[in-house]
Amino acid sequence: MTRSVAILGGAGGIGRAVVAALKETGDDVIVLDLSASLERHRLDVPCIPIDVLSEAAIDAAVARLRRERPALDGFVNLAGFNASIQPLSETTTEYFDDVIAGNLRGAFLSTRAIMPLMSQDGSVVMVASGLARFIRPGYGSYAAAKAGVIALANTLALEFAPKVRVNTVAPGLVDTAFLRGGTGRSDEAGESVVNLGPYLSAIPLRRLAEPEDIVGPIRFLLGPDSGYMTGQVLWINGGAYMP
C-alpha cells in the first residue's frame, strides 16, 4: 500500500537520501523546506516552501499541505541547524535564541500544525542529535535545543497514543552541509565548522556517518516493523555514545 509521507527538511543531505529511499519503495513523498534549499536542490517530488522561524510561514505551508495531502501516514522532521561552535560564556543571546527557534520552537510549531493531518496508525519521526545527551563543549545552544526536541517527541508520543506513534532518531555528525552551517543557510561547499580529526578518533567505527546511515533507522521507525515502539530514541553514532 502506498503511504503518504511529508518530510520537513527534505532538501538537506539526510533529507534527500530519505526522499530517494522512500520513493524507491513506492511511497508518495512531499517535501517542505526553505525556498533557498529547494532552489539549490531540485527534487523530483512535490515541494512546499517553509521557514520554521516564522509561525505564519508554517501555517501557510501546512494549509497548502492539507490541500495537497489531507491525510499523512508519515512525517519526518529533519529541520535544524547550528552555524558555530562556541562556549556558552561567549554565546550571545541573539545566537542562542536563533538556534532554539530554528531547532526547538520550529519543531514544536511545525509538528503541532501537522499532527491533525496524521492518519490512524501514522508515524512521526523527529530528528534530534546525540549531543542532546552526549554533551560536548561548544554546542550548548544546539544541545539544549535537541534535548528539548526529544522531550517534545516523548510528550507527543504520550498525548497522541494510540493513534500516532512518535519516535526520535539522534545521529552523531553526518557528512552533509550541516557541518558547514546548514542547507539553504550557508555555503554548502565551505569548510566544516567542526574539527573532524579529534571527533573521528573517538568513534569506534572510525568514520563519519553518511546520510544513508540515517535512512535505515528513519525508515524503520516509519514502518510496521516498529509498530510497538513509541517515545523511543535511536542513537546513531558509530559507537561514540552508548547510553
142 is catalytic: yes
- From the candidates 95, 142, 199, 241, which is the catalytic residue? 142
Output the CA angle 120-126-130, nearest 5 degrees: 150
CA-CA distance, 243 to 240, in Å (whole number)?
Answer: 10
Beta strands in the chain (DSSP E): 4-8, 28-33, 47-49, 72-77, 118-127, 164-171, 233-236
**Cell of residue 44, nine digits:** 523530483
* HSE-CB for 50 with a 13 A CA cutoff: 34
Neighbour-count burial of 26, counting CB atoms closer than 10 A to its CB (0-12 exposed, 13-18 middle, 19+ buried): exposed
**Cell of residue 5, nine digits:** 509521507
**Cell of residue 69, nine digits:** 495531502
Residues β-bridged to residue 116: none
- Catalytic (active-site) positions: 142
